[in-house]
Amino acid sequence: MTHVKLQNLRFFVAVYEEGSISAAARKVHATQSGVSVQVRDLEDHLGVVLFERISTGVAPTTAGDQIYRRAVRILREVGLLEEDVTAQSDDLTGEVRVGIMPTFARAILAPVLATFSDSNPHVDVKVTEGYSALLTRMVLMGELDFAIVPDGDLPKGLRCTFLDTDLELLVSHRPIEGVEGVVDLAAIPPLRLILPGPGNARRAKIDQRLRNIPEVVHRILEMDSMMTTLGMMRRGDWSSILPGCLCLPDMDDPEINLYPVMRPLMTVDYLLIEPSTQPQSAAVRLFAETLSAEIRASCEHCRLHFGIMEDRA
């Protein structure tokens, strides 16, 4: 009996995760016919049907679901073996491709880059800034080694590691009448609010909270640039709901008012996402650890600043 080919498994995993032969072909840079042949070879070898055709592409059979879980583990182990062979030098080399949200670009990324680059001069770091939908897709397509995104519905083909929980803050240039320390959105007057667009993972949670208070009607301006949002607030009477990590430079600014959103506490969880079958190189792993540690420290600093302890749930 011949052995299963790794190429069969790679193409099968791509089809499973994409739900489409054509999308899988684009992902693995092959032709549709080539992908179909590889999957068919695997089916013939195993003696089972792995996919059924549906109107939108293909759907895995029960056997396909079972084999996918094993195939992911096998491909990851092969990748780790290859990485063990190449990571023999005392000096890290290679490339790191990371995706971050604008939340981390203002105060967290620069110290991480400075520390990492000084210690690892032979590693090239490429940073892509974007919102979660774009970053997630780039990780799935193999264009990023990993990304940091908010918790939410994530597609197949990703491994997720929980990093920490950040506070959502109501941010205003002017003090909000009747509010001190923390804010209950049900007890504030109508505001001019700048919120991210509907494609932002945080927007759905914000909308849900505001819908629960129908008697308070806010004026909404959609803005997907956090830096422009901060600039707008400093120039007028606009407010916004922003993650604490973005607001670290404003914690002690007397001209900016920060209010944790309470009753119940409003938070955002951060996840590190990476391809399910691709292991991290030594350089990627070290950069991910450095960035993750800085994010955790920043989340803790924010909670401590506002007196929100670890039993915040």
Strands 219-222 and 257-262: unpaired
2 within 8 A of 16, measured Cβ to Cβ? no
Residue with tokens 């008697």: 215
| CB neighbours of residue 30 within 10 Å | 18
Q: Specify the fold of 90-313.
A: D-Maltodextrin-Binding Protein; domain 2 (3.40.190)
Residues 249 and 304: their CA atoms lie apart, in Å, by 15
Contacts of 240 (CB under 8 A, 6+ apart): 170, 171, 193, 194, 195, 229, 233
pTM of the model: 0.76
Under 8 Å between Cβ of 255 and 173: yes
What angle in degrees, to the nearest 10, is found between the helix axes of 282-305 and 109-119? 140
pLDDT digits (tens, 9 = 90+) for 111-138: 999 999 999 999 999 999 998 889 999 9
- CA 160 to each of CA 32, 84, 166, 268: distance values in angstroms, whole numbers, following the listed order: 29, 22, 17, 15
Q: Which pair of tokens denotes residue 197?
A: 């667009």
Give the integer Cα–Cα distance in Å for 10 and 28: 8
Q: What is the DSSP letter of 180?
A: B
Query: How far apart, in Å, do the first and last CA atoms of the chain sit?
Result: 55
Encode the chain (313 residues) as per-residue pLDDT tens digits. Answer: 467 888 888 898 889 888 999 988 988 888 988 889 888 988 888 889 999 989 888 999 999 888 888 888 888 888 777 666 555 555 678 899 999 999 999 899 999 999 999 999 999 999 999 988 899 999 988 899 999 999 888 888 899 999 999 999 999 988 887 778 888 888 888 889 999 988 788 888 898 888 888 877 889 999 888 888 988 888 878 999 999 999 999 998 988 999 999 888 999 999 999 998 888 888 999 999 999 999 999 999 999 999 886 544 4
Rounded-to-10 torsion of CA 220, 223, 228, 233:
10
Pair 171, 257: CB distance under 8 Å: yes
CATH number for the region 6-86 comes to: 1.10.10.10
Provide the strand spans (E) within the chain: 51-54, 57-60, 94-100, 123-129, 146-150, 158-172, 183-184, 192-195, 219-222, 238-243, 257-262, 267-275
Please determine whether the domains at 6-86 and 90-313 fall in the same fold group of CATH: no
What are residue 264's DSSP bridge partners?
Answer: none
Whether the Cβ atoms of residue 129 and residue 109 lie closer than 8 Å to each other: no
Dist CA 138 CA 57 (whole Å): 21
The Cα 153–Cα 139 span in angstroms is: 15
Question: 240 phi and psi, to 5 degrees?
Answer: -155, 165
pLDDT digits (tens, 9 = 90+) for 79-90: 777 666 555 555
How many other C-beta atoms are found inside a 10 Å radius of the C-beta of residue 79? 16
Cβ-contact 106, 250 below 8 angstroms: no
Calpha distance 246→248 (Å, rounded): 6
d(CA 189, CA 88): 62
The domain spans of the chain are 6-86, 90-313
